[in-house]
Amino acid sequence: EAGVTQFPSHSVIEKGQTVTLRCDPISGHDNLYWYRRVMGKEIKFLLHFVKESKQDESGMPNNRFLAERTGGTYSTLKVQPAELEDSGVYFCASSRNFRSSYEQYFGPGTRLTVT
């Protein structure tokens, strides 16, 4: 079984540009989560999809961040326009069924650098 994959693994962009991160969850996993770690800080929850619906987006920092999961499969996280403080590692995770398994499987992360 393939794990959670994320693309790209690294992205370097200039302040003000747009970047889109992609996450492919494990096949059959209804739940998809985004987290991020900014330099020197703890890993923070961003949001949670159940299939294509946003279940919890309480961790999204501001309206420059837009997450989508069309069709309930892969998800994208767009940052527009990017700011310096958005630099960090963005992790995606997936789990099987809502409230039946809380074991989340994480991808390797996308390292975003905003210059």
Partner 1 sequence: DAKTTQPTSMDCAEGRAANLPCNHSTISGNEYVYWYRQIHSQGPQYIIHGLKNNETNEMASLIITEDRKSSTLILPHATLRDTAVYYCIVTLDDKIIFGKGTRLHILP
Q: Which residues bind partner 1 (CB under 8 A)?
A: 4, 31, 33, 35, 42-45, 48, 55-56, 58-59, 91, 93, 95, 98-99, 102-109
Q: CA-to-CA distance for 103 and 16, rounded, in angstroms?
A: 36
| Closer residue to partner 1 (CB): 18 or 76 | 76
CA distances from 109 to 36, 60, 99 (A): 9, 17, 24
**Residue 81 Cβ, how far from partner 1 at the closest point, in Å?**
27
**Residue 83 Cβ, how far from partner 1 at the closest point, in Å?**
23
Q: Which residue's structure tokens are 């975003």?
A: 112
| Closer residue to partner 1 (CB): 7 or 45 | 45
Q: CA-to-CA distance for 44 and 65, rounded, in angstroms?
A: 14
**Residue 73 Cβ, how far from partner 1 at the closest point, in Å?**
19
Neighbours of 80 (CB within 10 A): 13
| Closer residue to partner 1 (CB): 59 or 81 | 59
